[in-house]
């Protein structure tokens, strides 16, 4: 939780996307979830638990992951959370898009949700892989605690510890799968889409308002480009015109993008911190292997032991954030599909 407070502080002062977020359609306090209070509540919701359980079933227990020196990218094929978690499923959505006359920004909204889901996939895989890799560190810690300078087995124990540290240092850093540049590009794309959604929403609702005013005044044949057009209520939703329905869809999509930007910015900070931590651990582990000196090994492994609990907490926080992001992607997709399908039902 302390880490998330630091993230909140960083986001408020970073400013890269802060202005975009603050001035967006979604600046309502109910959207700006409180990290301190809402985070804990979110982790107990049925929707989060459902996503988390699917992730765990897909990956299996962390300790069951096979420790392997094979390139991590070659192991990624077994993780397809987007196929099992997205609602509606992507293939179903593709078929609907072919039959419905959706605005291009709404189509792009679904594409961005899929892109965010793939980022979450990679982060979750990275978390589980580094947990598996960390078993080498934990074994080194246990062996180090058994060292007794008075025994004749110290050299052999040091060799065994070095073998564990060497195995860890040879592994690729799992967090390189989602680089800072990738996060930057994704956030930039989402922020640009949010600006377009805001502008289109404003224009659409202004036009809808003018049409309603014109209708109420009996000026359907007047200027402003409204002549020769009669306002037809949307079938299935008689209280709203087509412009108003589109406005609602754009608003939901804008809120969805706002939430995605928040998650991407948060996860970028945590993933970046973890990447640096893993690189630091690899360097120090390799230093022990090269040195082979008992005192150096004990000092480095002791530092690993002192930071291991915090390190594992960071991994858990990142996994939680990725699962929360997946949960909210689904909630947003279902919300906008509800707005899309209601007017279609009466056609």
* pLDDT score for 44: 76
- Mean per-residue pLDDT for 222-241? 51
Task: With a cut of 70, say whether residue 18 has pLDDT above it.
Answer: no
Ranked by mean pLDDT, the top range of 18-27, 53-62, 148-157, 317-326 is 317-326
What distance in Å separates the CA atoms of residue 325 and residue 48, rounded to the nearest whole number? 9
* Interatomic CA distance for residues 130 and 74, integer angstroms: 15
Q: Tell me the per-residue pLDDT of 257-273, one tens digit each, with 9 for 90 and over.
A: 999 999 999 999 999 99
**82-138 per-position pLDDT tens digit:** 667 787 787 778 878 878 888 999 999 999 999 999 999 899 989 999 999 999 999
As a whole number of angstroms, the distance between CA 25 and CA 20 comes to 10
What pLDDT, in 10s, does the model give residues 57-82? 777 644 333 434 444 444 444 456 66
Confirm if 128 and 65 have CB atoms less than 8 A apart.
Answer: yes
Identify the pLDDT of residue 54: 79
Whole-number average pLDDT of the chain? 77
Buried b (16+ CB within 10 A) or exposed e, 47-69: ebeebbeebeebbeebeebeeee
The pLDDT score that the predictor gives to residue 279 is: 95
Over residues 140-160, mean pLDDT: 74
With cut-offs at 50, 70 and 90, classify the pLDDT of residue 158. Answer: confident
Three-point CA angle 43, 272, 51, nearest 5°: 25
Picking from 25, 7, 16, the residue whose alpha carbon sits closest to that of residue 200 is: 25
In this prediction, residue 231 carries a pLDDT of 43
32 or 42: which leads in pLDDT: 42
Task: Encode 275-331 in three state secondary structure.
Answer: HHHHHHHHHHHHHHHHHCCHHHHHHHHHHHHHHHHHHHHHHHHHHHHHHHHHHHHHH
pLDDT above 60 (res 28): no
Alpha carbons within 13 angstroms on the beta-carbon side of residue 161 total 32
Confidence grade of residue 148 (pLDDT, cut at 50, 70, 90): low
What is the model's pLDDT at position 82?
63
* 245, pLDDT greater than 80: yes
pLDDT at position 341? 81
Q: How far apart are CA 15 and CA 159, in angstroms?
A: 49
- Candidates 244, 261, 280; CA nearest to 332 is 261
* Torsion of the alpha carbons at 95, 100, 106 and 107, rounded to the nearest 10: 40
């Amino acid at each position: 939780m302390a880490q998330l407070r630091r993230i909140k502080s960083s986001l408020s002062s970073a400013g890269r996307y802060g202005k975009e977020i603050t001035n967006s359609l979604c600046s309502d306090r109910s959207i700006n979830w409180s990290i301190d209070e809402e985070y804990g509540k979110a982790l107990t919701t049925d929707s989060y638990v459902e996503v988390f359980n699917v992730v765990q079933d897909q990956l299996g227990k962390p300790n069951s992951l096979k420790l392997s020196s094979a390139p991590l990218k070659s192991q990624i094929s077994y993780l397809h959370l987007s196929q099992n978690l997205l609602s509606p499923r992507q293939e179903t959505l593709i078929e609907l898009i072919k039959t419905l006359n959706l605005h291009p920004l709404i189509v792009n909204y679904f594409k961005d949700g899929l892109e965010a889901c793939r980022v979450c996939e990679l982060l979750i895989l990275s978390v589980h892989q580094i947990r598996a890799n960390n078993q080498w560190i934990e074994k080194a810690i246990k062996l180090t605690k058994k060292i007794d300078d008075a025994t004749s087995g110290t050299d052999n124990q040091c060799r065994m510890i070095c073998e564990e540290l060497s195995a860890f240092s040879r592994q690729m850093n799992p967090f390189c799968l989602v680089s800072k540049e990738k996060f930057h590009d994704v956030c930039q794309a989402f922020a640009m889409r949010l600006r377009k959604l805001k502008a289109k929403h404003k224009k659409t609702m202004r036009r809808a308002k003018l049409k309603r005013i014109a209708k109420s005044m009996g000026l359907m044949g007047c200027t402003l480009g409204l002549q020769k057009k009669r306002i037809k209520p949307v079938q299935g939703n008689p209280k709203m015109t087509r412009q108003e329905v589109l406005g609602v869809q754009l608003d939901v999509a804008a809120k969805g993008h706002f939430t995605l930007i928040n998650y991407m910015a948060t996860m970028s900070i945590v993933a970046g911190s973890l990447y640096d931590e893993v690189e630091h651990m690899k360097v120090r582990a390799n230093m022990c292997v090269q040195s082979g000196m008992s005192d150096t090994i004990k000092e480095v492994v002791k530092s690993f032991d002192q930071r291991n609990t915090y390190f594992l907490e960071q991994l858990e926080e990142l996994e939680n954030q990725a699962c929360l992001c997946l949960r909210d992607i689904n909630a947003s997709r279902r919300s906008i599909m509800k707005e899309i399908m209601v007017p279609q039902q009466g056609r």
